[in-house]
Structure 1
């Protein structure tokens, strides 16, 4: 596991910073729409978590594409 983390550290750091930013934006939007703080926090954690995982694999696909091109 440590080898995988080390090999992908720049992408993992970028993913983590994107995740935090996304949670803040999602919480603000969810609160503006629902007016419910609990719902806003729930939505802001669920959706960005799924997006962060998708983002990591998206970045890896683009890196592979760059190598082939």
Structure 2
């Protein structure tokens, strides 16, 4: 749990710092530091649901094809 808390603090700090440096606003920095991790958390939840559904399917070769195709460049595919 300690690792999770320290990661959350780091995430909020980075989000705040980047937003503050870009905008110069403590308010925008604070909003981004709260909103961005919250949205990321929700997105991660759905990512995990989709990932688990794909990995539990009876087609592990489908996962292999996805990973293989993401590693290939477009130029190599067109040859």
Q: TM-score interval w.r.t. the shorter chain?
A: 0.5 to 0.7
Q: Root-mean-square deviation (CA), in Å? A: 2.3
Larger Rg, first or second structure (1 or 2): 2
1:22 maps to 2:11: yes
Unaligned runs of 5+ in 2: 61-79
Pick the aligned partner of 2:24 from 6, 29, 35. 35
Q: TM-score normalised to the size of structure 2?
A: 0.54
| Larger helix share, 1 or 2 | 1
- Displacement, 1:62? 0.6
Unaligned runs of 5+ in 1: 1-12
Partner of 2:52: 63
